[in-house]
Amino acid sequence: MKTKEEKLEICSTCTKRKFNPEKGLICSLTNEEPIFDDECPAFEADSDQLQKPKDNNTPQSISGWLTFFLWVGIGLGVIVSTKTAFNEIIIEGINWYLASAYATYIIALDIIAVYTIIAFYRRKSNAVALAITYTAMIALDGISSLILGTVFEDNSMFRPALRQISWGIIWFTYIQKSEDINNLIPILSRTWKSFEKIVLAIYIIGLSFYTATLAYIFIKTDDPLRYLFTTEKYVETNIEDMNMELPRVIYDGLTLEHIRKENMNIIFTYQYSYLVKTDFDPGYLDNEAMVNKHEQLFDVSTNPEPDPFAHYYATGYSTTCEYVDSLSEVLYTITITPEEYKAATEAPYQCPIETIKELINETNKEPHNFFANSRLFILDKILWNNNDTEVSYRIRLADLSAEEMAAIPPAKLSEFITSNWNDFCDHIMRLAIINQMVIQFGFFTASGDEYTTVRITPEIYNAY
């Protein structure tokens, strides 16, 4: 009984032979591989095929353009593609679902590339089908780049994409026309097996998902980078972009110098141009830090505009504002945690009453000048009403008798306070404003006689 190879040799010279991509050489009468034992009763010799020289028994060597195609076109090409994918997935830090799709189709490309080289050197019947599959993958990747370049409006993507498509066409043409490949893997012996079909399908699915997802992100979202990168990479990219625009003047005397990330904390460094740390009492700086933090949380609670840092807090990042003097010495820092930020967004923010009372008790330890650089206004004490809705400042006008104070109209005092509000507004008032409390000023003569009271309601100070 003849072997399968001997039977196929007979069939290759029969006029009734037919090529099937999946099965290879088959009989056109049965659509099956040869099933006869020694002789085929339906054999009909093909004189043209019989006249061909029988030199195919001599093994064909892999050389010339075929070597270039296998080791440069496929081998080097897949190395470059894999390196690019590694950079984007690991170093650039694209998001997990994009990374999964990218890795899927790159692994499929790697498998086909390696198997193609092996198949040619082992003279596998599916070697040509594998090579064509590889060139199709390259062309499809180029088409994907053209689509994304159009979506991104990035002309720099077009040239590499067109180069990929062109190489795909060139190598496909070479595979079809090459005599070396035809001698190595005769047309009638070629097959296209399920393996390469499955891998190609996986490649197309991965590439399609990757392309469609990227296109959707850039078309439908206001902040594509947020969905493109991992949270850590997104934060780092944003910080790099923001630092390119720094330093930036916030107002005269205060500049945002730079931003950095330390672990799960984003640090903003602000510098005062005219302040020196040694000019301040440490207790004042501690109070300034505390009050400033409450004001920031109050702004979060009341600001109707979307917070650009909400995503950072939602993913576990804290923010720290670091304030330094003109000599870069740290004055104080303010840190807001994700938990504090979340609480401020869920309900109207209120400064704890105990915090305000502690600050009042500290201030009431001794009288002091109420108005900066003026000994005329002496703050005797600050009072707190029982229903936690009002704070009262008892201010003594030094060196003024009742007759002299009577010459000052109450409306004039009220106008003086409102027109100098920023100078009057101390730490306690700033916290009272957060809680929308009434701030009352009681003016007394040098001897302690009450002259008049000025009430500043939320409607008044909210207008400033």
| Tens digit of each residue's pLDDT (9 = 90 or more) over 259-280 | 999 999 999 999 999 999 999 8
Alpha helices (H) in 87-126, listed in sequence order: 96-121
Domain-terminating residue out of 165, 196, 227: 227
Residue 330: partners with Cβ closer than 8 Å, 6 or more residues away: 277, 322, 323, 324
Are 76 and 207 part of one and the same domain?
A: yes
**Lowest pLDDT segment from 68-77, 81-90, 129-138, 175-184:** 81-90
> Phi then psi for 266, rounded to 5 degrees?
-105, 120
Residue 59 lies in a domain: no
Domain-terminating residue out of 349, 375, 407: 349
| Per-residue model confidence (pLDDT) at position 56 | 47
Residue 124 lies in a domain: yes
pLDDT confidence band for 182 (50 / 70 / 90): confident
Per the structure, the complete domain to which residue 127 belongs is given by 64-227
Domain-terminating residue out of 195, 227, 259: 227
Residue 81: partners with Cβ closer than 8 Å, 6 or more residues away: 106, 109, 141
| Per-residue model confidence (pLDDT) at position 22 | 67
**Lowest pLDDT segment from 42-46, 104-108, 118-122:** 42-46
Residue 283 lies in a domain: yes
Interatomic CA distance for residues 340 and 136, integer angstroms: 54
pLDDT confidence band for 59 (50 / 70 / 90): very low
Alpha helices (H) in 122-272, listed in sequence order: 127-152, 158-177, 179-184, 194-220, 224-228, 231-243
Are 339 and 450 part of one and the same domain?
A: no
Are 321 and 249 part of one and the same domain?
A: yes
- In tens, the pLDDT along 291-307 reads 999 999 999 888 877 77
Listed residue (345, 347, 289) closest to 313, CA to CA:
345
Are 262 and 211 part of one and the same domain?
A: no
Are 202 and 283 part of one and the same domain?
A: no
Residue 47 predicted with pLDDT over 60 = yes
Residue 102 near residue 80 (C-beta atoms within 8 A): no
- In tens, the pLDDT along 392-445 reads 988 887 777 777 777 788 888 888 888 888 777 889 999 999 999 999 988 888
Tell me the CATH number at 365: 3.30.300.250
The pTM score is 0.62
Beta bridge partners of 225: none
Are 296 and 199 part of one and the same domain?
A: no
Number of domain units in the chain:
4
Are 87 and 208 part of one and the same domain?
A: yes
Residue 188 predicted with pLDDT over 80 = no
Residue 325 predicted with pLDDT over 90 = yes
The single residue listed with the structure tokens 């300034």 is 288
Mean pLDDT of the chain: 85
| Per-residue model confidence (pLDDT) at position 58 | 43
pLDDT confidence band for 50 (50 / 70 / 90): low
Are 73 and 46 part of one and the same domain?
A: no
As a whole-number percent, the residues of the chain with pLDDT over 90 amount to 40
For range 194-209, the mean pLDDT: 93
Residue 58 lies in a domain: no
As a whole-number percent, the residues of the chain with pLDDT over 70 amount to 93
Q: What is the CA radius of gyration of the chain?
A: 41
| Per-residue model confidence (pLDDT) at position 54 | 47
Mutual orientation of helices 282-302 and 427-434 as an angle, nearest 10°? 20
Are 330 and 365 part of one and the same domain?
A: no
Residue 381 predicted with pLDDT over 70 = yes
Are 116 and 184 part of one and the same domain?
A: yes
Are 78 and 200 part of one and the same domain?
A: yes
Are 310 and 383 part of one and the same domain?
A: no
Residue 23 lies in a domain: yes
